[in-house]
Amino acid sequence: MSSDTIRLRVESDISALTAAQWNACANPADALDRDPDLKDEKSPYNPFVSYEFLSALEESGSVGARTGWHPQHLVLEGEGGQPLALCPAYLKTHSQGEYVFDHGWADAYERAGGQYYPKLQVSVPFTPATGPRLLVRPGAHAAAAKRALAQGLATLCDMRRASSVHATFLTETDAAVFDSEGWLPRIDQQFHWTNRGYGSFDDFLGELASRKRKAIRRERRDALADGIDIKWLTGREITEADWDAFFAFYMETGSRKWGRPYLNRRFYSLIGERMADRILLVMARRGGRSIAGAINFIGSDTLYGRHWGCIEEHPFLHFEVCYHQAIDFAIARGLSTVEAGAQGEHKLARGYLPVTTRSAHFIADPGFREAVAAYLARERSYSQEAQAELAAQAPFRRDHDEP
């Protein structure tokens, strides 16, 4: 890839690009019908890096100047101005809504006389789901384009006088690119469910230890004991009334849990218009009234659980709506994985196993970088030990063979 035919630019508004331009880099397999040159690509569809999702965040005002998330999307252009690669990035004045925590870093740096904010964040806002961050249109240029984006982020850090750049919830492939550029690696864990070719939820339960199997059956029965029924809604089945109900759940639970929910009502209408076929609402109803719900996003091989909320408290309803119903849907759709969001060791007893999540960090100040590197080395050792201990507590039968 010749430097004479490419250039990097920064866009503060995703609408400066078309949906087709963005998605040809973010989700090339989903653009097959629009661009026959992509016909051999097999990369999985990720809903969160799609133009539809990210533009809804910006257009609704869920991200933008008033939120402390200032879009700084990096665009690598080829000959004729055609985007060859993209990177969703944000200049930030706080560390909220990221799920990879650096509050301690900010405090330490500022106590030492530095200024931690602004910083650059390479992520999908408010979304702790692993996915591509170096979004590249397929072609011979792909590997070089990813390196150019990583290098461009370091340059942008200097241009914006930011303290650092943080790329979070990375795929292994993107993590390796940042590692090759000398960024500091960080790991953590989430709990994901894996479909081993099950034909039904009972098939899945059959692989669990007897005590765990009985506990889940009792839990599912008790969750619906008060006359509650569950309905799946997707595509055109989702109405504005459903979004009104779900937003009430989100605000009720989010206000108690986070203090201030990140997403506004307009956001949900926009994704309902633009990507309803990629959304699953699991709604719990009692007496004809919706009382709880969870929103999931449907990838090509993964169901991503995001938010849950309720206006009535019922034993085990959270587990049923968020975890068991997600497994039921994944089995019915033939999806290979359920990602149920950040943290939550309670997921382990329900068949969700620990997996590694990855991030990469560019620290501009050499002295501060050295201190962070030492901290991350200790943290990685602890995280690996903790994950091994949790995996040993998996609910599967002892004679269960790993894939």
How many whole angstroms separate alpha carbon 383 and alpha carbon 329? 31
Location of structure tokens 């989903």:
30
Q: What is the pLDDT of residue 36?
A: 47
Helix, coil or strand: residue 231 = strand
Angle, alpha carbons 328-333-337 (nearest 5°):
70
Q: How far apart are CA 327 and CA 335, in angstroms?
A: 9
Q: What is the pLDDT of residue 99?
A: 94
Average pLDDT over residues 330-345: 93
pLDDT in tens, 144-202: 999 999 999 999 999 999 999 999 999 999 999 999 999 999 999 999 999 999 999 99
Residue range 370-386: average pLDDT? 96
pTM, two decimals, is 0.94
Average pLDDT over residues 251-269: 83
Q: Which two tokens stand for residue 248?
A: 């009430």
Spatial strand order of the sheet with 7-11 comes to 7-11, 73-77, 83-87, 135-136
Residue 257: pLDDT over 80? no
| Residues 117-134 pLDDT 10s | 999 999 999 999 999 999
Q: What DSSP string describes 273-319? A: HHHGGGEEEEEEEETTEEEEEEEEEE-SSEEEEEEEEESS--TTHHH
pLDDT at 213 over 90: yes
* Mean pLDDT computed over every residue of the chain: 93
How far apart are alpha carbons 17 and 310 in whole angstroms?
37
Q: Which of 185, 222, 198, 201 is nearest to 316 (CA)?
A: 222
With H, G, I as helix, E, B as strand and everything else as coil, classify residue 199: coil
State yes or no: pLDDT of 232 exceeds 90: yes
Cα–Cα distance for residue pair 240/378, rounded to 1 Å: 48
